[in-house]
Amino acid sequence: MKLLFIGDIVGQPGRRAVAELLPKLRERHSLDFVIANGENSAGGSGITPKTAGEIFSAGVDVITSGDHVWDQKEVMELLANEKRFLRPLNYPLGTPGQGSAIFEVQSPKSKGQSPISVAVLNLQGRAFMQPPLENPFLAARAEVERLRKQTKIIFVDFHAEATSEKIAFARMLDGQVSAVVGTHTHVQTADEQIFPGGTAYLTDAGFTGPHESILGREIEPVLKRFLTGMPQRFEVAKNNVLLHGAMIEIDEATGKAMKIQRVSEAANG
């Protein structure tokens, strides 16, 4: 099966890029399943039912998140009612929402055949991250063991800052999950690979939104903050809008990745 993961969607420009480019990518690559990190989709910080609805309408099957998941109060509605929306698994027990889910995927290429079960798992790192959550390594081990009893195809969005933590996390899960792709830094890395056990890996998928910016925000206020130390309002930038992510081909029988490639597509306007 072919799976596309879309890196952090930033504000209206990012949502527009997904709406414009995803239908073309689905057709061009015969995609079976699409996951996107949407935690910055509402004004560049947080997510709401409205912005999630736009992302789903564009063709995304599952939305993951990260440390900005609580930035918009409307997110509570998503956490309570939307099974296609995930927050990091390693929040304390009793936190609203879910950190993993299994989805039944009917491949366009296999009409008449049984759906394919695909698990999606969302975790957040601890190095340089706030708030500090439960240990993602321990949480992932237990959850992956549970999920593997139901499917061998498991995709993990690891929302973390430190490259060492991301690589160590993925190495631990090599052979147990189909792919581990990092999010959070908004900088697409060039280290896509398949580990010996068959797990596809990319340290960071990058971000979907305006790249004539500083991580999706207008340049001048960010520079002023660094130069003066004074608080600034960081508005979402507008120009050079790109969709970043990773495309992964997975063996349906074994759950092992066969191919991973970075995606960088320019939107119009």
118-159 pLDDT, tens digit each: 999 999 999 999 889 999 999 999 999 999 999 999 999 999
Mean pLDDT, rounded, for 168-194: 98
Is the pLDDT at 3 greater than 70, yes or no?
A: yes
The pLDDT of residue 193 is 98
Is the pLDDT at 107 greater than 80, yes or no?
A: no
The pLDDT of residue 112 is 67
Mean pLDDT, rounded, for 251-264: 97
The pLDDT of residue 75 is 98
Share of the chain above pLDDT 70, in %: 98
The pLDDT of residue 114 is 86
186 in active site: no
From 29, 68, 159, 186, active-site residue: 68
pLDDT one-digit tens code per residue, 193-237: 999 999 999 999 999 999 999 999 999 999 999 999 999 999 999
The pLDDT of residue 49 is 98
pLDDT one-digit tens code per residue, 129-140: 988 999 999 999
- Is the CATH number of domain 2-266 3.60.21.10? yes
The pLDDT of residue 108 is 65
In our burial notation (b when 16+ CB lie closer than 10 A, e otherwise), range 116-144 reads bbbbbbbbbbbeebeeebbebbebbeebb
Is the pLDDT at 15 greater than 90, yes or no?
A: yes
The pLDDT of residue 113 is 79
